[in-house]
Every structure is written in structure tokens, then in C-alpha cells.
Amino acid sequence: MFVRPRLDINLNRILENYLSFSEARAFSSTIMAAVVKDNAYGLGDKEVAQTLFNKAGCRVFFVAHGFEGSRVREVAPTADIYVLQGPGKEDISCFAKDNLIPVIASPAQLDFWNQEKPNQQKPALQIETGLNRLGFRESEISTLSETEKNQFGMILSHLACADEPKHKLNQKQLDTFNRLRLSFPKAKLSLAASDGFLLGAPFQFDIVRLGAVLYGLNPVPNAVPKSKNVIRLTAPILQIADVAPGECVGYGAETIIQQKGKIAIVSIGYGDGIFRSFYPKGKVWFESNGQMFPAPMIGRVSMDNLICDVSQIPNDILNKNQFVTLINDSYTADDFGIDAGTIGYEVLSAIGHGIRFIRTYS
Amino acid sequence: MFVRPRLDINLNRILENYLSFSEARAFSSTIMAAVVKDNAYGLGDKEVAQTLFNKAGCRVFFVAHGFEGSRVREVAPTADIYVLQGPGKEDISCFAKDNLIPVIASPAQLDFWNQEKPNQQKPALQIETGLNRLGFRESEISTLSETEKNQFGMILSHLACADEPKHKLNQKQLDTFNRLRLSFPKAKLSLAASDGFLLGAPFQFDIVRLGAVLYGLNPVPNAVPKSKNVIRLTAPILQIADVAPGECVGYGAETIIQQKGKIAIVSIGYGDGIFRSFYPKGKVWFESNGQMFPAPMIGRVSMDNLICDVSQIPNDILNKNQFVTLINDSYTADDFGIDAGTIGYEVLSAIGHGIRFIRTYS
């Protein structure tokens, strides 16, 4: 009798993913950095950073916020830790204490950094090349003096459509990056995240920021190398019940039973990151001898439970399985995302925030 | 210069909501319990339970899992703490240590509880009356001996459509509950959560389980009493930029600018619980002298950022506001839910799981 959902996180797979993408780089001089922001997409920033620091020699990490950088510093004493959202008053002490490197996102942040100067690191500069998100615009770059330009140790930009290799904006952003970088001849260069890396050598430059592919996401389907799934999400069945025609299932009585069948009530819900939008297309899986049997969602997802139709699951399998599977190597966070109407990134992030899992690391 | 989003949680409002619903009950003998599962919908289980225990005399709490009950026990030493998902091997020690009361959800759980017997509490029994989720079915109740029936201190069920007061399933579930409860003449009775309470006296019985309305959600629009919003969610603007016709904004270059305008990049994203589905209908707000100015989303939500169109925001307001508002008394979690294609419950839960907020309690 179990009641809590489980999240098993495979750090060895994260290591494998890091290594297989490192091997695939066009130039051995390109540094492969690990993006561990938002608690490593929810999977454990310290666990992931420590694994990559100790076992893969990864010496460059990216986080979003200063306090996240301080967490990573605990396990990566000699790494370069970049803070993508830049410095702010809340976490400025982290930059001093843990020698973090800011990614300067706007002119106001540059002023703030130069005023505060909490450490001697050369900041990175984010430049805008077509995503229209954070970064110095061309007009803002042109107002920088030579001294100001030379203070940056890295120039960084981000692609809008790298998950669509044929999108014409990719080449356009690359051209813009190559033009704007000429203002910073001494700085290291970084344009690509996981999907940008897959666009090939011209996008890889000095530093690649690997995030999604470390965590088993494949933003570009069928790309090589392929990232391997790193999590196993399972949840206990609390009850199996017969249902008869005319009965309703779940909130809003949205599902009306058409024929005699069986349902299972599973102890996981949107309080654990299972989006309500997972209904109606989602399903959970019964595993038996390497085979997977789907049980479709039936009824809306509740905060603590979901209900699935197990009418088609063979009785012996139904009787022996105490757990159903929500994510594994065969049905990944990307697959889950498609069924929930979103992307694997958001699925991982939502599940990763769950506080009720029994979490294990292997 | 700020970079982290902020979540201000108003415990006094939660207290007010508890008290206003308590005053509205049909019988002064009805006990108003507080549902604080999943970290009190993400807002802080200990903070909420302590407030209601100390300031409102609340002595009955509901959580989903045993370990959650142990957290509540720390601040509510003499309360009855019910565990809705029932006992399981993972948290059974919590029941012994903290004298928690299980809600028995299935025959297998009853066997498990009677075997383990970690404390002398009389368990509650969940019975199924039409939601087709957890609980003993009528056929399962009929197999219980009189001794078994008498062991339960409370009989509990849950409504499927209480947020639709005119739904005919409400009366049907009430009738079923009233019929099945006759088997348990000595037990206390609980049928209603927040929305069930609003259905009136016949639904209120001995114990009402207030969850949603404590946290500012109004599952039944225009119902009385009305729950007051309890959170204020704001995020800093990192940058404001001009955009020109033909430029793209955000991932997938989905938004193409049609006319000259201005965008703001805000430091909050789906890593903080802002659903990707908040685009395209969502908006953020500029507050000035009690007025609210909307800035619609433009471009997909990223993990750490969102982008909004500020072309219509007066310049003086744009220049003086360092933060935008995502949720406040005028645009609540329920409103946010509508724009994101979901319900306020899921919005609160997702935001409540965020680990990057500067959190304050008042």
C-alpha cells in the first residue's frame, strides 16, 4: 500500500547526454556549458552540477538568478557561473560571496553592475539579434565606449527558432550576431543553446549552453545526437472500481460512461505538476515484461488524483501493478507535453517543482 | 534594479475568509475545517495553519499526505489532522509520531490501517457518491461488519459539480450520501468543500472542508460570501525596447510586429508557474494611483521571462513602474485562470510551487 508519487532521476543519463553532445561538437575548443537554472529544470541543481563538475569536468554553468548561482557554487568550487537574468538588488551579495559572473541584459543593468562592482569578474553581455527578448539592441551597443566594450568577457545571444532548423530567422540571427560581435573582438562568443547546437558548426562558437538535452528533452525531433530520457515518473493506484453506463467520472461530471468498464484512481494530480490540460488526450501506462499498456485519462485531473480507464488492461497486469507510469524512456516528457498541449520543457519544470514525490537519484 | 519576481501572501485575508465563511454557516455546530494540502495550495501550510489555529481557533485540518500532516502538527499541537489520501507505507510513521487521522479511501487501505494501527485515532471513511474518484463504493460498504462500521469517526464524501449550483448531480449525490450515512449512525459527517458549502444548509453537515475560498478563489462566481484575494504577484521589468513593423517577438517568431511600438521584458516565466497557455490571452498590469493599465502578452512565455506590449501604457507610468502586476485584488488567480484556459486552483498551485520568488507574509 503506497500513496505518494515517485520521481526517479537518473544522473548517469544526464552525464551521458552531456558527454554525447560534447563529442558531437564541431570544434574541440568549444566549451560545453550546463544550464542548471530553476533547480536544473526541477531535477536538482546541486545534484546535476556536482555530477557534471566531478565526472565530466564541466567548468561552466548558467543559472537564471544570483541565489541559484550560490547553490551551484557549493558543488562547483572552481567553475565559471553565469547569471542569465543579470544582477539585481535582491541577490547582489551572492555575486560578491560566490564570485558569480553576471550576464548584463540591459543598459540599466550595466550601470547597476558598474556602480556595485561586487567582484572582479568580467561580465558577459547579452545582445539582441532577433528574439526581441533580453539584451542590448544594436542602437544601445553603439553608445558604448571602447573601454566599456572591452570590459565584457563574453558576448551572448539567443535564438528564437532553433527548434525549427529550416526557419529563416536562424540564419538571419547568425548574420546579425556575426556582425555585432565585431564590436567585441576580445570577448568569447556564445549563441547556441541545445537546439542551436544542432544547427551545426557556424552556430557553436566558443561556448554552447546545454540545457534541454541534458534533461532528456529533444526540442528538434529526430536530431542527432538524441538526448536520452532521464526521469521515471510513477504513481500508486489507490483504488480500482467498476463503472456502469450512465455514471459520471470526475469534476464537472464531464465524462459519462457509455459501457461497463473499470477505472483506476491514481495518486498524482495537478498539485504534482500534472497539468489539467493533460486531460483528455493524456494516458498513463501499465508496464509488464517490457510491454507498455496505455490507460487513457477519464475525467478531469484533480489536485491530488487522476482517474484513468483501465477497462482494456488485462486482469493479471491490473492485479499485480501497484504503480502506473507517467513518464519513462518510451513515453517521455516531450510526449507528455504533446498530449498536454505544451512542450517538454514546461512539463519537466512543473513536475520538477512537485514537493510530494519520493525522489530518488541514480 | 530588481530581477526576482515577488509573491506577497496576505495571511490576514486568509483569516478574514475563514471567519466570513464561518459566520455564514447554517448551524453554529458545524465545524469549519481548513484544507492545507500541497503546502496550502502553495501558499505555506505552516503559516496558514498557524494563523488559523492561533487566531481563529480552527482545530480541524485536512492534508493530502501523511508528511504534510506532520508539518501542520508542528504549528497545530491539539488539532485533528485528517489525511485525505489515506495511509501508505511511505508516511505511516507520521501517523504514529503526530497522531494523524487517516481518511480511508479503499478497502485495501482499510486492511493496511487495521494491520498497522499506528495510533488510536478513529479513522474517517471516504464514501463514493457520484464523483467516481476515491472512496468505498456502496457494494464495498455492504461488506463491512457492524464492528468495522463503528470504528469510523467520520464519514466523508466529495461533490463533482458543486461549482455549478444548478447541476442535478448535486442533489443526487446528497441523496446518496444521506442514504449511505445511515450505515454509520455514530460517525460525524462531511460532504462539502468550499463550493459545496455554498449549496446551502443541507450540504453542510458536521464538518465543512474549506480550501479554495480560504485562498481567494471563488469557484462559484457571484456567490455570497465572496472570498477575498490573498496574493499579490509582481515581477520586475528588466528592459523596455522599441519594436518596428516586421520584427518578430519571442520563441517560434510567432508574433510579427504590425506597427511601431514598445515591449517590456518581465522577469517571470513558466519556471515560476506562469503557464505557457497564458499566451496569447494573458496580460500584465501597470498600477498607478489606484488605476490599472493592461499590457497584453506578446510572444510566447519563456522559462524565466515574458514579453508584453506596452505601446498603450502612458510614458510617465512606464518610466516610474519598476514592477508589473500579474495577480492582485482586481485581477485574481481566477481571472488569470480564465485567460490561461484553466482554473484558479491550478494557477495558485503552479505559482505556489515557484522557488524563485521573494516571498513575504503579512
Sort out which chain A residues have CB atoms less than 8 A from B1's CB and list them: 87-89, 108-109, 112
User: What is the rounded average pLDDT for all residues in chain B?
Assistant: 97
Contact A199, A170 (CB under 8 A): yes
Contact B272, B354 (CB under 8 A): yes
User: What is the rounded average pLDDT for all residues in chain A?
Assistant: 97
| Overall pTM > 0.90 | yes
- Identify which of A206, A247, A229, A242 has the alpha carbon closest to the alpha carbon of residue A348: A229
Q: How far is A126 from chain B (nearest CA, A)?
A: 12
Q: Which candidate in A251, A262, A345, A361 is catalytic?
A: A251
Q: What's the CA gap between A40 and A193, in Å, rounded?
A: 15
Partner-chain residue, chosen from A1, A252, A304, that has the shortest CB–CB distance to B112: A1
Sort out which chain A residues have CB atoms less than 8 A from B349's CB and list them: 270-271, 303
Residue of B nearest to A135 (CA): B239
Beta bridge partners of A283: A296
Give tens-digit pLDDT for A90-128: 999 999 999 999 999 999 999 999 999 999 999 999 999
Q: Which residues contact B357 (CB under 8 A, 6 or more apart)?
A: B4, B5, B6, B7, B272
Q: Which candidate in B251, B262, B345, B361 is catalytic?
A: B251
Partner-chain residue, chosen from A1, A3, A130, that has the shortest CB–CB distance to B65: A3
Sort out which chain A residues have CB atoms less than 8 A from B164's CB and list them: 252
- Identify which of B262, B256, B302 has the alpha carbon closest to the alpha carbon of residue B278: B302
Average pLDDT over residues B88-113: 97
Contact A358, B90 (CB under 8 A): yes
Q: What is the dihedral of CA B102, B104, B108, B111, to 10 degrees?
A: 60
Contact A223, A252 (CB under 8 A): no
Cα distances (Å, whole numbers) of residue A324 to A4, A280, A300, B112:
12, 17, 17, 20
Average pLDDT over residues A43-57: 98
Average pLDDT over residues A320-335: 97
Average pLDDT over residues B75-86: 98
Q: Would you call B149 a catalytic residue per the annotation?
A: no
Residue of A nearest to B301 (CA): A346
Give tens-digit pLDDT for B224-272: 999 999 999 999 999 999 999 999 999 999 899 999 999 999 999 999 9
Partner-chain residue, chosen from B86, B137, B346, that has the shortest CB–CB distance to A241: B137
Q: What is the pLDDT of residue B134?
A: 96
The phi and psi torsions of A349 (rounded to 5 degrees) equal: -60, -45
Percent of chain B at pLDDT > 90 equals 99
Cβ separation of B299 and A132 shorter than 8 Å?
yes
Handedness of CA B110, B113, B117, B120 (dihedral sign): negative
Sort out which chain A residues have CB atoms less than 8 A from B85's CB and list them: 3-4, 238, 267, 304-305
Q: How far is B270 from chain A (nearest CA, A)?
A: 7
Q: What is the pLDDT of residue A123?
A: 98
Half-sphere exposure of A201 (CA within 13 A, CB side): 4
Average pLDDT over residues A246-267: 95
Q: What is the pLDDT of residue B327?
A: 98
Percent of chain A at pLDDT > 90 equals 99
How many cross-chain Cβ pairs, A to B, lie less than 8 Å apart? 233
Question: Identity (one letter) of the amino acid at B256?
Answer: I
Give tens-digit pLDDT for A132-177: 999 999 999 999 999 999 999 999 999 999 999 999 999 999 999 9
Cβ separation of B133 and A85 shorter than 8 Å?
no
What's the full length of chain A, in residues? 362
Q: What single-letter DSSP state applies at residue B257? A: -
Partner-chain residue, chosen from B132, B134, B350, that has the shortest CB–CB distance to A249: B132
Q: What is the pLDDT of residue A106?
A: 94
Q: What is the pLDDT of residue B109?
A: 96
Q: How far is A83 from chain B (nearest CA, A)?
A: 11
Please tell me whether residue A264 adopts helix, strand or coil conformation.
strand
Q: How far is A305 from chain B (nearest CA, A)?
A: 8
Report ipTM (2 d.p.).
0.97
Residue of A nearest to B92 (CA): A2
The verdict on whether omega for the bond into residue A118 sits within 30 degrees of 0, i.e. cis, is no
Cβ separation of A64 and B304 shorter than 8 Å?
yes
Q: Would you call A168 a catalytic residue per the annotation?
A: no
Q: How far is B143 from chain A (nearest CA, A)?
A: 15
pLDDT band at A303 (very low <50, low <70, confident <90, very high): very high
